[in-house]
Amino acid sequence: MPSSVKKQKIKAVGLLSGGLDSTLAARLLIEQGIDVYAINFSSPFCTCTPKNAGCASVISAVKNLGDIPLKRVALKDEYLEIVRDPKHGYGSEMNPCLDCRILKIKKAGMYMREIGASFLFTGEVLGQRPMSQHRRSINIIDRESGFKGYILRPLSARHFEPTTPEEKGFVDRNKLLAIMGRSRKTQMSLAAEKGIKDYPCPAGGCLLTDKYFADRLRDYLKYTERPSMKDIPLLKIGRHFRIENGDKIIVARNERECHMLKRLFDKNDHLLDPADFPGPTVVLQGNSVEDAVEKLLHYTKRAVSEEVDIVHSHHGNEKIVKADFTRKKVLEKSCNEIE
């Protein structure tokens, strides 16, 4: 690498998931004297992002990399629209991996321009993931993101044609790797060699690949006129039932979920909560209060007195619904549980 180029301190933006591959990719470039800026994307579909806390593995990755700058981007409704109708289709479940990668690369590219960086990089490994990391998929991602030639994949770089940063001498191609396939052995031994520890979410946990969550999401998208990212957290908790008239009933499974339902329910929904007996909190989306009460009673484990009180909240108003514990249980209407 010419010394004049070295002195310029070339900047690059890397997509950092917090997993091992993207951390290693960043490390390889830092070792070449590149000024690495990380960008991390989160959404309610991430399984490793506790609410209000941020992904612990990204924090740990940033530390491993010497406290590099980190930009966090929360994906909003435009992402949900991609999930609803992806141009390139789905992977095994509701995961639109190609479209997802294209969107993230586009956003990373905007950040690259904003900070005057010279190229982008990712921790992608050729052939590692079934949908988005095959050569054809990678070509589509490069082309449709609008950054073809500017996306370096340091872990598999020598399986691809040289990119612009390699051609310009910003990075030394000979020090980049030629990893391919699903085995993570090479990455793990490199991590040990480079002292990289604590990479708790190497597969980049994504609920969109989960069959049970995908079923709920499909149901939500089918019945919701204007889908919104703010509704997604509710899909992650409770038992969900779609009843015959299209209303939805969500029943908490434990105390934690009771609290969460109370926090997450929308003012247009109904909240039903046992007033004088131990039982689950229930959210109703629709108008079938009687069915929701029956579900609440059905999932009340302990026997209670015959007549029970349930607090019914809707649009800021509260009232007591009186129910007959035994009779309601017997008269439960049929409805299907959404796994």
Residues of the shown chain interacting with ligand SF4 in the complex, contacts defined by CB under 6 A = 95-97, 100-101, 132, 204, 206, 208-209
Q: What is the smallest separation between the CB atom of 68 and ligand SF4, expressed in angstroms?
A: 22
Beta strands in the chain (DSSP E): 11-15, 35-42, 70-74, 119-121, 151-152, 239-242, 248-251, 270-274, 282-285, 307-314, 317-324, 336-338
Q: Which is nearer to ligand SF4, 206 or 282 (CB)?
A: 206
Tell me 154's DSSP state: T
DSSP 3-state of 241:
strand
Helices (H), 33-134: 56-64, 77-84, 97-115
Name the residue nearer to ligand SF4 (CB basis): 214 or 308.
Answer: 214
**Minimum distance, C-beta of residue 158 to ligand SF4, in the bound complex (Å):** 23
Q: Which residue, 40 or 132, has its beta carbon nearer to ligand SF4? A: 132
CA separation (Å) from 189 to 25, 180, 185, 192?
14, 15, 6, 5
Phi, psi of 90 (to 5 degrees): -105, 160
Please report how close the Cβ of residue 138 comes to ligand SF4 at its closest, in angstroms. 12
Rank residues 44 and 280 by Cβ distance to ligand SF4 and give the closer one: 44
Give the β-pairing of 119-121 and 151-152.
parallel
Cβ distance to ligand SF4 smaller for residue 97 or 258: 97
Residue pair 186/192 in contact (Cβ under 8 Å)? The answer is no
Supply the minimum distance, in Å, between the C-beta of residue 204 and ligand SF4: 5
Residue with tokens 């095959």: 134
Q: Which of 41, 119 has the CB closer to ligand SF4?
A: 41
Nearest-approach distance from CB 82 to ligand SF4, in angstroms: 9
Q: Which is nearer to ligand SF4, 80 or 264 (CB)?
A: 80
Residues 189, 198: Cα–Cα separation, whole Å: 14
Is there a contact between 116 and 11 (Cβ–Cβ < 8 Å)? Answer: yes
